[in-house]
Amino acid sequence: MSAIRCHQLSLAIGKRQLLSNISLELPGNKLSVLLGPSGSGKTSFLRVLNRLHDDTAGARVSGELTLSLSGQTIHPYHHGTDPVWLRRRVGMVFQHPNLLPGSIGHNLRLPVQLVKNPPRAELAQRIEAALREAQLWDEVCMRLDAPAASLSGGQQQRLCLARALILQPEILLLDEPTVSLDTQASSDIEALITSLKCRYTLVMVSHNPVQAKRLADKIIVFRDGSLVDS
């Protein structure tokens, strides 16, 4: 079953055409990897999926895009679709860990509290569940008040993943999540990603064909803002 469908999807920012007539379907509960050289449109496509270009001056998205979320077909760019709700359902992890200032716990509490203010016990349960899913709980459970910046690079990236997971998304977008990590940390993140795909629809950008072949259920190749292969 396809979780993401697009037809003739295009993105322009000012006079720059970043994506041109992209038509594809990405399966649910699988890992789809977007391959291609720098500037080929991979990250631009990822950001279109949860409307991260909304605040970019001169950005124009055209064509059709539908997502399967909560058992419904959602049109992200229809007037009635709340982009804040959309970004909770379609989480994103960036190339480099983008930590919030403050503690490990603060990085997880704040996103939940911005959506609602759950009882303390429920919040604690959600924090533990997200950290366990990101395979980080055993390493940080006794120091949630420690600065998030004190974590290693791999731990920081897993914390960012836990921060996305705590909002209970259905789709996870991963923009080269291992690019800034050493070999061991990259291997840990790859194993984690593999473990998550049975519960989430994953779309990952990579520059590494070997990594893509090792991990992906589906590979999509971009070049100059267009689709080469899928």
Per-residue model confidence as pLDDT tens digits over 156-198: 999 999 999 999 999 999 999 999 889 999 999 999 999 999 9
Please report the pLDDT score of residue 8 as a whole number.
Answer: 98
pLDDT class for 2, splitting at 50, 70, 90?
A: confident
Q: What is the pLDDT of residues 80-139, one digit of tens each?
A: 999 999 999 999 999 989 999 999 999 999 999 988 888 999 999 999 999 999 999 999
Please report the pLDDT score of residue 70 as a whole number.
Answer: 87
Domain coverage including residue 206? 2-229
pLDDT class for 22, splitting at 50, 70, 90?
A: very high
Q: Which residue type occupies 178?
A: T
Q: What is the pTM of this model?
A: 0.94
Is the four-CA dihedral 210, 212, 218, 219 of positive or negative sign? negative
Q: What is the pLDDT of residues 43-76, one digit of tens each?
A: 999 999 999 999 899 999 999 999 999 889 999 9
Please report the pLDDT score of residue 230 as a whole number.
Answer: 54
CATH no. for residue 46?
3.40.50.300
> Pick from 80, 50, 75: which is nearest to 63 by CA?
75
How far apart (Å, rounded) are the C-alpha atoms in residues 128 and 17? 43
Which ranges constitute the DSSP H helices of 170-218?
183-196, 209-215
Inform me whether the pLDDT recorded for 229 exceeds 80: no
Please report the pLDDT score of residue 104 as a whole number.
Answer: 98
DSSP 8-state code for residue 149: G
- Number of compact structural domains in the chain: 1
What SS3 class is residue 204?
A: strand
What's the mean per-residue pLDDT of the chain?
Answer: 95
